[in-house]
Structure formats: structure tokens, C-alpha cells
Amino acid sequence: MLQGKKILLGVSGSIAAYKAATLTRLLVKEGAIVKVIMTPAAADFITPLTLATLSKNEVPLHISDHNSWNNHVMLGRWADVMLIAPASANTIAKMANGLCDNLLLATYLSATCPVLFAPAMDEDMWKHPATRQNIARLLQYGHQQIPVAAGELASGLIGEGRMAEPENIVALLRRHFSVAASARKPLDGKIAVVTAGPTIEHIDPVRYISNHSSGKMGIAIAEALADAGAQVKLVLGPTNLTTHHNGIDIIPVQSAEDMFRSVIAVYPLSDIVVAAAAVADYRPVQIADKKIKKGEDKFSISLEKTHDILRTLGNNKGPQQLLVGFSLETNNEREYALKKLRDKNLDMIVMNSLADPGAGFNHDTNKVTLFDNKGKERDIPLKSKQEVARDIVSAIIELQHA
């Protein structure tokens, strides 16, 4: 179960740090790819050179080592599991409270993978109410605690608090990956970006141009993607709706320019993009800094084009990225949708029409037709937007495996 698994081993300052050498050797023997990061205090118990030799990877110690300042986020994304062993009382307390004063903690706070930790400390420290509270908080975060062992402690006392033996930790990791394999979701490990809602383009401090989009469809798609295992970045325009799904990070925006910049920032790391937002095609050339007063019988505003987000994404799409657009029309729906699919280098387009009763803006239902770049067409009848979202995500999953 560990063959080819990427394991990030964090070693903190505990006498049990010496066990990290055996643990590293066993993991490598099982076929795992092991990278080790240490706290400065851990280096008082075992040298980085020892663990670098056993893991066959450099072991950074400080946040400035080996470009770690730039790379600790990617290191946290690289791993299939982050294993902190030993996890001292001090490191556990910092993890529980979000402190970040060394490389291990900076990487921990950036980790998007499951986190397992093996406590190691004296019995009185282990049983202290503060430690118990910190452990409880880490469990609330969804982390997995490796049970401590009882026996002779560094203080010379006999009791609980010993770090689990490396062989037991390896066995637990095997079980972890076995359970994960049986519970795997189709989009596990994928990063998805969804745009939703309207944009607003200011005319003056009190007026703006917008549209009737509520964001319901885009939010439903974001939730369906997260339910399928994806980590979702929801770029959400101004709406009174939101979501509290654990797998969704919301990036709030207002204008088309805000949405463009936010999407472009997260696009390079994304695997899937679903552009469901109703983005303004034009914006005022100038925004008045004071309220425009009523005057002449006729009043005109000069407009300029906004960035074409979909076209920009399509022009810069990588071979492994999947791009889905929306086409909401009032006439010639099929013609316009297929043209948009081709012209903007999309993998799939979702077509719906304001002419269909119960579809379009502000409804709880929708009726759509899906066209993909392989020529497949799929009609989805009038359903709740949540059901339509699941159908769209099913089509995305099929395209991912085509």
C-alpha cells in the first residue's frame, strides 16, 4: 500500500526524534517517497544529514533553506500524507493554535493532505489539561492521532507518552491508505475553480451596471465538485447566497476585473475550471467619484469591453486542464453555444435559455444541454439546480477519464 506514496515526515524536538531514522528507513523500504522536514530543536537530537541520507532527499531545517520560503506551500501540496513523528507537546500546541515560527509549522499550515501525528512526551505532560485540549482541537481539524505507547520515559518514569514504534506507525499508514483507497472519490486530488454570481460595474458611488444572476447554479456546481472530492476555489460575485461546504474556499469579488484577476491567479494550479458566472461584457470607461446629479433629459455612458475571461483561459489551457463554459441565450441558442465552444477552446459548454420556463436566473430549477468538444450532446430536463449540478459534474468526470 505504500509503494509510490509521497510521505512528508515532520520531526520535532523530542528525544524520540532518534526513531525518525528507523521510521524513514522502513518507509523507504516499503517503496514510499519520503521527504523530511525538521524543527531546529529536532536537530539537537538527530542530524539532518542522517535523515537526508536515509530518505535520499535534502532535509531543510530553516525556512530560508533550499528555497523553502517559496517552496513550503508546494511541499505541503506534494504529499499524500503529512506525518509528524515525533510530535512534541510544544509542536502540538503550536499546531492546535495555528502558530507558525518554523519551517515544519509553515508547511503544516500549507498542507492540503491528511495529517497524522505521533505524540511523544512525558506522562505528566501527556495528561495535562492543556495538552488534552490541544489534542482534541487537532482531532476536530480532522487530523489522526497515532496512539501513544506506555513504558519507560526519558524522565526515567514508567507511564504513557512514548511515541509509537516505527513498525506500528508504518502498519497504521498501510491501513490509512487501504481505507483511503476504498473511500476514494472520483475527483480526489483535483483542484477546481468555479465562477458564480453576477459582477457589478460602478457608474458612480451609488449606481452600477449588473445583471439578474443569483449565483445559485454556480454554487450548486461548486458543492457538487467538492462532494466528488475536488478542492474548490469559488470565485463569487456579489450575491446574498453563500456556501459552508468544507471543500470550498470562497474568493469574493465584485467587478469583472476583480473576477478576471482572481481567476488568473488560481488558474495555473487548477485541474478543472467551470465558468458559471454572469460576467459583464462592458464597463463604464470612467467612474464618477461623486453621485451624478439629474440634469438633461438624455444621458449617455461610454462603455468599454471587459476582459474575456473564458477566451483568456482557453488560450492558456494546459493539456491536463479541463475548461467548462456557460452559454445563456435568448435566441439561436444552439448556434451560439457551439460557436463559443469552438472559439474559446472549451472542453464543454452548458447551454440554457431564458425562453425555457423554470430555467435561467433566480429559479431553483434549471434545464440545460451539454455539448463537449468530442461532439457529444446531452439534454438535461428541468430539475433542481443541485441535480443539474450533479449531472454536469458527472459529465466532467467522464471527460476527465476519456
- 376 annotated among ligand-binding-site residues: no
Specify burial of residue 23 (Cβ count, 10 A radius: 0-12, 13-18, 19+). Answer: buried
C-alpha cell at 139: 482531532
- Annotated active-site positions, please? 211
Specify burial of residue 35 (Cβ count, 10 A radius: 0-12, 13-18, 19+). Answer: buried
Give the Cα separation of 148 and 138 in Å (integer). 15
- 391 annotated among ligand-binding-site residues: no
> 361-399 burial by CB neighbour count: b if 16+ within 10 A, else e?
bebebbbbbbbbbeeeeeebeebebbbbbbbbbebbbeb
Do 116 and 143 meet the contact criterion of CB atoms below 8 Å apart? yes
Pairing verdict, β 348-353 and 365-372:
antiparallel
Do 111 and 8 meet the contact criterion of CB atoms below 8 Å apart? yes
Query: Which segments within 79-222 are labelled E, that is strand?
Result: 81-87, 115-119, 144-145, 149-152, 158-162, 191-196, 201-202, 208-209
Give the Cα separation of 254 and 235 in Å (integer). 10
CA 337 to centroid of chain Cα atoms: 30
- 326 annotated among ligand-binding-site residues: yes
CA 248 to centroid of chain Cα atoms: 7
- 233 annotated among ligand-binding-site residues: no
Give the Cα separation of 107 and 100 in Å (integer). 9
- 260 annotated among ligand-binding-site residues: no
Pairing verdict, β 322-329 and 348-353:
parallel
CA 207 to centroid of chain Cα atoms: 35
C-alpha cell at 123: 506522562
Give the Cα separation of 119 and 135 in Å (integer). 9
Residues annotated within the binding site are: 281, 291, 326, 340, 344
Annotated binding residues for CTP, written as ranges, equal 281, 291, 326, 340, 344
